[in-house]
Amino acid sequence: MLKNGTYAAWFRTSLANGTGIVHVADGRLWGSDAVMLYSGTYEVDGERFSAVLTTRRHSNEGSTVFGTDDLVVRLEGAWSGPIAVCKGRADAVPDLAFEVTLMPSNDVPPEPPPDLPLPKFNPSKLPKLPKRSSR
């Protein structure tokens, strides 16, 4: 069942794949990846759900998994244990299949617990750069 929370998203088309973060709360979803912002709505029916979202480019670098920007994407998915698998299409490129896997993101504390000492920085443990050959 799609529960309110944060999810790691792995998305793919035949052109490319990528990862992002999706936040879900009370029928709304929003998130981002290295290139795009997305937001939309979803409906749940038991273990199945559907979503409609819009995408907008936020970075001048990189390409999208659709090969184009600013889209409306329609998805349908189902839960299998803790993971959801969705399939859908973007209105602007209906012949390009789109798949998304959603995995619940566990809460990570913003800092280490106060009873653990912070590790000391030791520059000798950093990897060494290879020596350049002289020409």
Predicted local distance difference test score (pLDDT) of residue 20: 92
**Is residue 5 scored above 80 in pLDDT?**
yes
125 phi and psi, to 5 degrees?
A: -90, -5
Extents of the domains making up the chain: 5-104
What is the pTM for the complete model shown? Answer: 0.73
**pLDDT one-digit tens code per residue, 25-80:** 999 999 999 999 999 999 999 889 999 999 998 888 888 888 888 899 999 999 88
Rounded CA-CA distance 30/8 in Å is 12
The answer to whether the beta carbons of residues 6 and 14 sit under 8 Å apart is no
Predicted local distance difference test score (pLDDT) of residue 10: 94
**pLDDT one-digit tens code per residue, 10-29:** 999 999 999 999 999 999 99
Rounded CA-CA distance 28/20 in Å is 17
**Is residue 124 scored above 80 in pLDDT?**
yes
Contacts 24+ apart (CB under 8 A), 29-35: 29/53, 32/58, 33/9, 34/59, 34/61, 34/62, 35/59, 35/61, 35/62, 35/63, 35/64
Predicted local distance difference test score (pLDDT) of residue 30: 94
Predicted local distance difference test score (pLDDT) of residue 135: 62
Distances (CA, A) of 134 to 62, 127, 130, 131: 35, 21, 12, 9
Sign of the Cα pseudo-torsion (69, 40, 21, 44, in order): negative
Assigned CATH class of 5-104? mainly beta
Predicted local distance difference test score (pLDDT) of residue 112: 58
Predicted local distance difference test score (pLDDT) of residue 107: 67
Predicted local distance difference test score (pLDDT) of residue 12: 93
**Is residue 1 scored above 90 in pLDDT?**
no
**pLDDT one-digit tens code per residue, 90-109:** 999 999 999 999 999 876 65
